[in-house]
Amino acid sequence: MRTFIVTCLHILALSALPLAGAAETERKPVLQVKGAVADAPISFSMAQIQDMPATTLTTSTVVTDGVHQFTGVLLRDFLAELEAVGDTLTATALNDYIVDIPLSDLERFDVIMAYSMDEKALERADKGPLWIVYPRDAHKELQDIRYDYLWVWQLSELEVK
Ligand SMILES: Nc1nc2c(c(=O)[nH]1)N[C@H]1C(S)=C(S)[C@@H](COP(=O)(O)O)O[C@H]1N2
Ligand SMILES: [Mo]
């Protein structure tokens, strides 16, 4: 009987592992927000970001073939929620890529911080876990190198200035 119970507990523990692993990943901090926002610095987990109202955007990109459907949060709404004030959003990536995005871009265009492409989570090895996506196909002026380099992939930090 004792062996039986121990075996059962073992099976339970083993079967719970993959789930616990996934949930833990969702709760790990993935994004730091600094600068001119209320309560800075704030860190967000993927679970927190995915709990926010989602926006879907369909566009081509310069680094993928064809048109893709991206899901994420509207950067304009995300920053408004954090009471951001300033002119510039400095975005930093895991590979230390760093670029300034004018906050006016976010007012003029529905730019999103995407966490999935074609309903699949963006992987770290492929532009994830967060990718700044502009509505490129909807606006002729966004089809330009000056905007392409603002599509920060592997986004890890935002600073409002
Ligand atoms: N994290 C990260 N995002 C980035 C870059 C980068 O090096 N790292 N390069 C930028 C530039 S210069 C361009 S043109 C586009 C496409 O870059 P890629 O062709 O190197 O993917 O992504 C932008 N986002
Ligand atoms: Mo580029």
Given a contact cutoff of 8 angstroms between Cβ atoms, the answer to whether 85 and 160 are in contact is: yes
Domain-located, residue 143: yes
What pTM did the predictor assign? 0.88
Q: Ligand 2 center to residue 62 CA distance, Å?
A: 9
What is the residue range of 102's domain? 28-160
What is the distance in A from the centroid of ligand 2 to the CA of 71?
23
**Comparing C-alpha atoms, which of 111, 110, 120, 105 is closest to residue 155?**
111
Task: Give the contacts of 55 (CB within 8 A, at least 6 positions apart).
Answer: 71, 72, 73, 74, 110, 112
Domain assignment of residue 7, yes or no: no
Sorted by sequence, the CB contacts under 8 Å of residue 104 that are 6+ apart come out as 87
For position 25, what pLDDT does the model report?
78
Higher pLDDT, 27 or 161: 161
In a domain, 123, yes or no: yes
Q: What is the CATH number of the domain that holds 143?
A: 3.90.420.10
What is the per-residue pLDDT for 23?
79
Cα-to-centroid distance, 148 and ligand 2 (Å): 6
* Residue 48 domain flag: yes
Top mutation candidate among 97, 156, 157 for ligand 1, by most atoms within 8 Å of CB: 97
131 alpha-carbon distance from chain centroid: 5
5 located within any domain? no
Question: What's the length of the chain?
Answer: 161
For residue 4, being part of any structural domain is answered with no
- Pocket-forming residues, ligand 1, beta carbon under 6 Å: 62-63, 93, 95, 97, 148-149, 151-154
Within-domain flag for 156: yes
Residue with CA nearest ligand 1 atom 18: 63
Encode pLDDT of 71-129 as tens digits. Answer: 999 999 999 999 999 999 999 999 999 999 999 999 999 999 999 999 999 999 999 99
Residue at 69 is within a domain: yes
CB 68 within 8 A of CB 116: no
The DSSP element (H or E) to which 92 belongs, if any, is strand 88-93
Q: Is the pLDDT of residue 5 over 70?
A: no
Ligand nearest to the CA of 97: 1
Number of compact structural domains in the chain: 1
